Structure 1
Amino acid sequence: MTTLSQLRKAALALPEVEEGTHFGMVAFSVRGKGFVSVSKDGQAQLHLPESEVEAAEAAHPSGERLVRMGKLIGFRVPLDDVNGKDLNALVRAAWYCRAPKRLAASLAAADRGAGTAGSDLPAGIGRPATQALLGAGLSTLAQVAARSEDELLALHGVGPKAVRILSEALAAEGLALR
């Protein structure tokens, strides 16, 4: 069982995601393209390609296909029927489906643990924190400095130790968290 706050955390941890509303529902978009919304009755509606919809149907029998004007556009499932890990995977798949190709490629590189050129993130923060930061589009200490401690801790994979190490590295550069 998951909640809207868990879905919000999963969606906002992805690069360039904005929260808004769509027909009165809480909705999340990447560069203006909606990828997930939540209806008032607690149904997550995810834009997914057909292959992902088939996998989601097999894993979540309480879900259903979303069809608009005869065309498959995604998958709908009650939040109560999805565990957190599965929800994160569905939200991420929906994001990949709607994100621009270059942005999706940069997140895929971060998922593989491949740093981007020019990244000066300290190695001591660990791989999960590095992946989380790169996945959020933060590849330099200057970009990290524009975030608050709470914003960094909200990223899945970034913990107090990583924030402490980042704060020390920022201080060495004459920078600080927002």
Structure 2
Amino acid sequence: MITLDDIRRYVAAFPEVEEVTHFRMPSFKVSGKPFAGAEKGATTAVFSVSQQEAATAVADDPTTYEEVWRTAGRRSFVGLRVDLTKVAEDRVKELVEHAWRNKAPKRVVAAYDAG
């Protein structure tokens, strides 16, 4: 099973990441924007990937993935919930990178890619 410490290690590979607490659970932000976070006793995590990527993941494996929507006020897409007991390490690394790229400022992504 992927652990919170594993996710911490994966996000540490990217610039301008900070760990904060959100509803008493660890959350990771890039330039002030959340892109990944643990929930439910750290057995699931939410990654801020594109809506299209989330829909594809859910269609491919609905027992491991679930789309997350904010319903308070106006309905809006949040990200992809992942059951960390059912997902491979390489896939979580990929989701961390996709979520980071989705939320990081373009200049930060460009500097990372150039370096």
The answer to whether 1:88 aligns with 2:93 is yes
CA distance in 2, matches of 1:35, 1:77: 13
Q: Which residue of 2 aligns with 1:3?
A: 3
Deviation readout 1:54-111 (Å, 9 max, x if unpaired): 23224442211000122222110111111110000001100011100111122233xx
Structure with bigger helix share is 1
Structure 1 consecutive aligned stretches of length 4 or more whose deviation exceeds 3 Å: none
Residues 128-155 of structure 1 deviation map (CA, whole Å, 9 limit, x = unaligned): xxxxxx3xxxxxxxxxxxxxxxxxxxxx
Structure with the larger strand share: 2
> In the alignment, which residue of structure 1 is the partner of 2:57?
56
- Normalization by structure 1: what TM-score? 0.58
2:113 to 108, 131, 146: 108
Structure 2 CA distance for aligned equivalents of residues 59 and 30 of structure 1: 28
Structure-2 residue corresponding to 1:12: 12
CA distance in 2, matches of 1:90, 1:73: 14
Correspondence 1:36 to 2:36? yes
2:83: which partner in 1?
78
Whether contact under 8 Å (1:35, 1:95) holds in the other structure is yes
TM-score, with length taken from structure 2 = 0.86
**AA matched with 2:108:** L
Distance 2:40 2:22 in 1: 11
Amino acid in the other structure paired with 1:56: A
Structure number with greater CO (CA < 8 Å, separation at least 6) is 2
Unmatched segments (≥5 aa) in structure 2 = none
Structure 1's unaligned 5+ residue stretches are 110-133, 135-178
Counterpart in the other structure of 2:67: 65
Aligned length: 110
The answer to whether the Cα contact below 8 Å between 1:60 and 1:81 also exists between their aligned partners in 2 is no
Give the conservation status (yes or no) of the 8 Å contact 1:60–1:82: no
Q: CA RMSD in A?
A: 1.5
Percent of aligned pairs with the same residue?
A: 38
Verify: 1:98 aligned to 2:100, yes or no: no
Shift of the 33–77 alpha-carbon distance from structure 1 to 2, 3 Å rule, reads: same
Q: Given residue 80 of structure 1, which amino acid in structure 2 is its aligned partner? A: T
Larger Rg: 1 or 2? 1
